Amino acid sequence: MADNQTLQNWQGRQYESFGKLRIDTGNPELGNDGATTYALYAENDQGLTSSLIMSEGGQYNILNDECISIIGGAKKEGEGACINIVGKEGDVCITADKTGKIKIKGNNITIDSDDNMTIKTGDNMTLKANSIFFDCNELATNALCGNLAPRDVTFGGLCFRGQKVGIDQLNSAFTGGAFDNIADQLKEQTAGLADIAGNIDTDAIESNLSNALSNFGGFG
């Protein structure tokens, strides 16, 4: 954001330094969220820094070069919350950048949604438990294969819909049975086709074909 010198009050800024700690209030220099209301900066002997910053736009940032720990309830007795994270209006976002993981661990975990809940993954998802129980009015899937895919939406079920083919035959052939095995076998057998195609000398084939065609009239 560009500085507007006519609106900046540098006389109102106060800056104090206490060794490794600095306090900056009323800094009129404009950032992404306006000027700085106040900021606490600290730096240790290794050059690692931390800061608490509030902007005139209302944004509050807690920054630290290493880990941040929030621990509550060390002397709490009985049940109840020790740490509350509340978003009064808007979203609550938790992000692990790059190769980081998000881990939630507890004796009991409850996810309570007043409306909808969506779980989306770019690859596989694994649910591991002693038992899994679905308590709902409707349970649906559009899976095309696997041992839990409904018969009428699988590849085999769609092909033989309305035909007098036993369900046991469909299940064994197309639902997590022979169909999956055949697919795995095809993947193994075709894995080397790309390498074979890359070793074909297309220039030699073209040259031999041209020589062969030159023996016939009209192909010289």
pLDDT string in tens for the chain (220-residue length): 444 555 678 888 898 999 999 999 988 888 888 889 999 999 999 999 999 999 999 999 999 999 999 999 999 988 889 999 999 999 999 999 888 899 999 999 999 999 999 999 989 999 999 999 999 998 888 776 777 766 665 566 667 666 666 656 655 555 444 555 565 666 676 666 666 666 776 777 777 676 666 665 555 5
Residue 87's pLDDT is 92
Residue 118's pLDDT is 94
How far, CA to CA in Å, does 181 sit from each of 44, 165, 171, 174, 186? Answer: 60, 21, 13, 10, 9
SS3 track for the chain: CCCCHHHCCHHHCEEEEECCEEEEEEEEEEEECEEEEEEEEEECCCCCEEEEEEECCCCEEEEECCCCCCCCCCCCCCCCCCCCCCCCCCCCCCCCCCCCCCCCCCCCCCCCCCCCCCCCCCCCCCCCCCCCCCCCCCCCCCCCCCCCCCHHHCHHHHHCCCCCCCHHHHHHHHCCCHHHHHHHHHHHHCCCHHHHHHCCCHHHHHHHHHHHHCCCCCCC
Q: What is the pTM of this model?
A: 0.58
